[in-house]
Amino acid sequence: MAGLRGLARTVLCGVLACALAACWTSQKPLLTDTNASSVGFAGKYRGKGEDAPTVLAIASGGGTAYAFVDEKNERIPVRFLALGSEWYLLQYEIADGAEDPDPAYMYQAIRRVGQDLYFYPSNCEDVAGDFRGLKRSNWAPGAADGPRETAPRGSQTCTFSGLAGLKTVARTYIAKVEKGAITASPSVLERLGS
């Protein structure tokens, strides 16, 4: 991850709370040019809260391709899928350096409220049940060698093999957030300028 260390600290540890914990993942990109959405919120943002100095751009890469770009011009490729008038599914690519042949893909629900973006933690355990193309794995902290039969809450990973199951899980998660059944605090990016 040498090439993305600064961006990982800036974005992943601060804004995208999923990073290697209870999250939604896939081994291949589920959002592509053929199914991702164009969005109207490319621009510069600043993190709200304790780490407010963070500045991040959402840059268009043409078509439905975008990138998170930090102040050092380090990039993480991203795509979005509209799931309603203000909700989106975010896909971001995590690679171990620019030449990584096997990047991982992470997903989370984001909400656009006015000009601000709210990034909700995609805790696998918040959406129970079986969904098409979903495999659940438990990972104990520090267990780099593989899954565990039991693990503490917040360490389950949902791996998806197809978009249909991921969309269903995301919509179920969003409905639970809107009903107050999920009370996790989102990370917020505040739009700079107009």
Q: Which pLDDT score, from 0 to 100, does residue 124 have?
A: 83
With beta carbons less than 8 A apart as the criterion, state whether 178 and 106 touch. Answer: no
Tokens for 24? 């939604």
Q: Which pLDDT score, from 0 to 100, does residue 194 have?
A: 61
User: Is the pLDDT higher at 43 or at 193?
Assistant: 43
Rounded to two decimals, the pTM is 0.81
Give every CB contact of residue 153 below 8 A, 6+ residues apart in sequence: 22, 125
- Tell me which residue has tokens 């350096």: 97
Q: What is the pLDDT of residues 66-113, one digit of tens each?
A: 999 988 888 899 999 999 999 999 999 887 766 767 888 999 999 999
Tell me how far apart the alpha carbons of residues 154 and 61 are, in angstroms, rounded to a whole number.
33
Tell me how far apart the alpha carbons of residues 19 and 130 are, in angstroms, rounded to a whole number.
23
Q: φ and ψ at 108, to 5 degrees?
A: -160, 160
Q: Which pLDDT score, from 0 to 100, does residue 14 have?
A: 40
Q: What is the pLDDT of residues 1-42, one digit of tens each?
A: 333 444 434 344 444 445 444 589 999 999 999 999 999 999
Give every CB contact of residue 17 below 8 A, 6+ residues apart in sequence: 108, 119, 121, 187
